[in-house]
Structure 1
Amino acid sequence: MFSVGLIIISNGQALSQVSKFRLCYAVCCLLWALLGFVVGQIRTLRRYGWLANMAVWLNLLVMFISMGAFAHSPPNYSIAVLGSAGSVVDPTTITPDPNTGVYPPVIHYNGLPNPNSLVGSINGLMQAVYAYGGAQLFVEFMAEMRRPRDFLKAMWFAQFLIWAVYLSYGCFLYYFQGQYSYQISYQGVSSYGLQTLCNMIAVFSAIIAAGLYGNIGIKVLYNNIFIDFFKFPELNTHSGKVIWAITVPIYWTIAFVIAAAIPDFFGLVSVMAAFTLVQFTYSFPPLLALGYCIKRAAMQDGEGFDPATGHVVRHDSGIKRWIRGFFGGPTKDILFNIWNLVYMLGAFTTAGFGAYAAIQGMIDVFENPQVNAFVCKSPLNLS
């Protein structure tokens, strides 16, 4: 849902930028939410196959166009107030001279921009988590593939492509725009024509992604909560299809509320990464693996599921059983348990730092009187 909300923000900003801020920003976001009511009615990922493939090439096209623009035009100084690297680490580096109106030159950092604070650096780390996060969503994609073995090949190819493209593109952007590097990179193009072209291509690609995220999000909600706890009908039944049609607008409405209430894209990414993506990508997998290994190693003779009675037989429980499960296997299993424990604690610690940095960053953003929830003022028009 947060991912859908972020796409509503990015598309809302794109539309407001294309309209040269004549159209109310909240309305720009609302229009994409209403479109989501329609796009979200697609129930099977099979219908998204060729669209998702096209979205990849559209994103690459946006990157190539924007890279050409970055290399031959100055940064889009006017949007740097909210969402640029400089706005997070040192706002003075993006503030124009009060007498001449000239913006500071592009600068680069070899170390921490502010050695006395980790807020900017941790927020930057959360952006990286957002870019690569979501490993547990892969399971949902695999569940709908006709040949699940193909999933591994597709996943590794996609991960390599993302890594190579993101790393190259990020370095290129930072070289030319430095502290003016904007979170939604193509909106940092200063040429209105190329900026509009990138916005329109990216909007189409983002709608495909939003439909995909919404599809997975609603399915997880429906299958794991509605069906398991409330005994709702299966999705392939007539009643299930009706409930799906009703759930989609509710889901997109909540995503719109998130988007319109928090107009700071950079801040919302940090919040989402710290509270959800770090957990689902780095904290929960080792936690679940550790729990499974402990349960398996703690089993004793005579324990297990009794199909005759439907009960699970255990000879003991509590801390004693957990300790036996942790240290009860062969050496390689014990080392694996220690690795998962350290990995999990490190992930939770990172999430804690990320949550602090994200909240502190949001507090700083909302101190700007022009930044507020459900307003017509575009986050790109604060200079």
Structure 2
Amino acid sequence: MSKMDESDEKKRPDDVQGTEVDPSSSFETITALVAEGMVNPLLHDVGGFVHDGLTMMGDKTAVLLAGDQVCLAIMAQTWSLSVLGWVPGIITMVLAGILFWITSITMHKYIMKYPQIKDICDFGYYVFGQSKWAYVFSAFMLLANNILLIGFHVLTGAKVLNTLSGHTLCTAVFSVITTIMGIIASAPRTLHHVSTMSMFSSACMGIAILLFLIFAGIENAPGYGYNGDYPSDGPVKTYAFPLPGTTWVACMNAVLNVTFLWVPQILFPTFIAEMERPQDFPKALAVLSVISAVLFIVPPAIGFRYLGQYATAPAFGSLGVTAYKKASFGFVIVPTLVIGVIYANVTAKFIYNQVLGKSRHAHSHTFTGWSVWGLIMVGIWLLAFVFSEVVPSMGDFLSLLSAAFDSFFGYIYFAIAYWQLNRGKLFAGLHRTTMTLVNVFIMIVGLFILGPGLYAAVEAIIADYSGSTTPAFTCANMAI
């Protein structure tokens, strides 16, 4: 082992070899937390992964990663195409996929150089010069991202129940019902069945997408769009570029909806650490990239073909036949609960271990242990419930998550990693120069999403509240 590697081993946050564990004393549980399933579903609406003893084979990694990509956010991409049009929309999707491949390969190369990295928090620690504040920041971003995603699923659950019931109860009550179901389902302190839950969730989401595509194709016309019921906005049409009058904020939020899907890298360090042969990760990544490209482009394109300017987010809301809408959207209740439960569990684990530390209550079935777990879980779901009521729409949620978190975990972290890997030879030859310029572009994209992107997401929320969007904690009908 080189002196640099020895130094790195002594400084890494989850060091277990000595007593110099400043960062570890506060954040050692992040590694275990991420290793047990902390992911960026919608992935990024995803389920998680499973341990296979201590390692996973490459083919299992590919299957689990691919299964994670069947998510509700796919159904927002038809709306993105309706805002951007065919040309900017498809270019954005393809470009996001290319950047996803490049940044993921950079991550893999960096982890191969520093194999002691076990999760995204370790990755942030090393990329930012072995800074414990970078580790803290990465951990905070993970937890904030998770709670917002739980809130997204509370909002989704309320919409599903509204749609299926015909708005028989106040929408806020439906949100409360979803929250209570989530708290009950999150009661276990382990995630041993996470892979089964994940695959079942993905299967239900896949059925929902397939039914939507069939119904969109066989019905005479869509029923509803953001500009009015069909045919108030004219006959269904598709177009190459944004329609006249489309605002910059709308275009930016459509782009953010696309980039959100293409940023699952938050879980990749953990997958790599769990693989029997980490060097085989690019093979699993290649499978994931192909499947993701099909899932993220084909269904939205078919949806745009049949819904045109009447596309909504999610696209189920545009279906003209109520029975079609209920039949397809109803399956979404399964991934809504499953994914919310997974995020709640891994988020609670971090807080739980901070509160109880290494006491016997942390790992035993004591009254104190279960009381603390219950209070934390209730607190997480209540906070998520508040977010679900305050952020007015699914599209706004995805845009906010993309701008606030994916800017770092999808772009900025990996542009910096590339610079660290190639310091002193950034312009050594045509290929290296080209890749350096590409990574400069990646950094610019990340900063643009973080700055103007976050501004656009906030502006969209403000605009929604000033328009027809229902206020927070409302009883109004939010059925799609």
With normalisation by structure 2, the TM-score equals 0.60
Query: Could you say which residue in structure 1 is the equivalent of 2:400?
Result: 271
Q: 1:370 to 1:118 in 2, by over 3 A?
A: closer
Give the equivalent residue in structure 2 for 1:260.
Answer: 389
The answer on whether the counterparts of 1:122 and 1:357 sit within 8 Å (CA) in structure 2 is yes
C-alpha change, 1:146 and 1:212, in structure 2 (3 Å) is farther
Aligned partner of 2:47 in structure 1 is none
2:450 alignment partner in structure 1: 351
Q: 1:285 aligns with which of 410, 414, 425?
A: 414
Letter in 2 for 1:362: I
* 2-structure distance, mates of 1:62, 1:345: 36
- Report how far residue 23 of structure 1 moved: 1.5
Query: Is 1:106–2:236 an aligned residue pair?
Result: yes
- Of residues 81, 92, 95, the one that matches 2:228 is 95
Residue among 66, 69, 78 paired with 2:212: 66
CA contact (8 A) 2:256 2:449 kept: no
Question: Residues of 1 paired with 2:166 and 2:246: CA distance?
Answer: 38
**CA radius of gyration, larger in:** 1
Distance 1:73 1:345, change over 3 A: same
1:185-196 correspondence to structure 2 within 5 Å: 185-196=315-326
1:233 counterpart (353, 358, 362) = 358
- Count of residue correspondences: 327
Query: Which residue is 1:374 aligned to?
Result: 473
- Residues in 1 aligned to 2:381 and 2:284: alpha-carbon distance in whole angstroms: 29
CA distance in 2, matches of 1:367, 1:180: 21
**155, 158, 171: which is aligned to 1:12?**
158
Cα distance in 2 for partners of 1:369, 1:282 equals: 34
The residue type paired with residue 95 of structure 1 is G
Structure 2 CA distance for partners of 1:222 and 1:158, relative to 1, 3 Å: farther
Deviation sequence 1:202-224 (CA, Å, 0-9, x none): 111222222233334444x449x
User: Distance in 2 between the 1:189 and 1:133 partners?
Assistant: 29
Counterpart residue type for residue 178 of structure 1: G
Matches within 5 A, 1:129-168: 129-140=259-270, 145=274, 147=276, 149=278, 155-168=285-298
Change (3 A) 1:127 1:369: closer
Q: Unmatched 5+ residue regions in structure 2?
A: 1-146
More off after superposition, 173-182 vs 348-357? 348-357
Structure-2 change in CA distance of 1:116 and 1:207 (3 Å): closer
Q: Is this contact kept in 1: 2:316–2:325, CA < 8 A?
A: yes
Q: Any idea what SS the aligned residue of 1:46 has? A: coil
Instruction: Check 1:49–1:106 CA distance in 2 against 1; reply closer, same or farther (3 A cut).
Output: same
| Deviation, structure 1 residue 121 | 1.6
For residues 105 and 210 of structure 1, the distance between their equivalents in structure 2, rounded to whole angstroms, comes to 38
- Tell me the amino acid that sits aligned with residue 121 of structure 1: C
Q: Distance in 2 between matches of 1:177 and 1:327?
A: 52
Q: CA deviation at 1:26?
A: 1.1
Paired residue for 1:184, among 314, 318, 322? 314
Shift of 1:180: 1.3
> What is the aligned-residue RMSD (CA, Å)?
3.3
Residue 375 of structure 2: aligned partner: 246
Does structure 1 conserve the Cα–Cα contact (< 8 Å) formed by 2:253 and 2:457? yes
Deviations 1:267-320 (A, max 9, x none): 121111111122221122323554x549xxxxxxxxxxxxxxxxxxxxxxxxxx
Is the 2:160–2:479 contact (alpha carbons within 8 Å) kept by the matching residues of 1?
Answer: no
Does the CA contact (< 8 Å) of 1:77 and 1:103 recur in 2?
Answer: no
The amino acid of 2:195's aligned partner reads G
CA distance in structure 2 between the aligned counterparts of 1:367 and 1:19, rounded to whole angstroms: 28
Q: Note if 1:198 corresponds to 2:324.
A: no
1:85-126, Cα deviation, whole Å (9 max, x unpaired):
xxxxxxxxx2369xxx84522122201324774222211110
C-alpha change, 1:286 and 1:110, in structure 2 (3 Å) is same
Please state whether the residue corresponding to 2:192 is helix, strand or coil. Answer: helix
Question: Do the aligned partners of 1:25 and 1:377 also contact (CA within 8 Å) in 2?
Answer: yes
Deviations 1:167-214 (A, max 9, x none): 110000000001111211223322222322222211112222222333
Q: 1:201 to 1:95 in 2, by over 3 A?
A: closer
1:169 and 2:296 aligned: no
SS at match of 1:133: coil
Q: Is the 8 A contact 1:52 1:208 kept in 2?
A: yes
Question: Structure 1 residues 347 and 264, CA, compared in 2 at 3 Å: closer, same or farther?
Answer: same
Distance 1:72 1:369, change over 3 A: closer
Distance 1:281 1:232 in 2: 32
Q: 1:108 to 1:11 in 2, by over 3 A?
A: same
**Does residue 154 of structure 2 align to residue 24 of structure 1?**
no
Task: Confirm or deny that 1:207 pairs with 2:341.
Answer: no
TM-fit CA distance, 1:262 = 1.6
User: Deviation of residue 356 (structure 1)?
Assistant: 2.1
Confirm or deny that 1:361 pairs with 2:443: no
- The share of aligned pairs that are identical, in percent, is 16
Deviation per residue, 1:222-274 (Å, 9 max, x gap): 49xx64xx782389622795344432221121111100112211112111111
Residues 181 and 116 of structure 1: is their aligned pair in 2 closer, same or farther, counting only changes over 3 Å?
Answer: closer
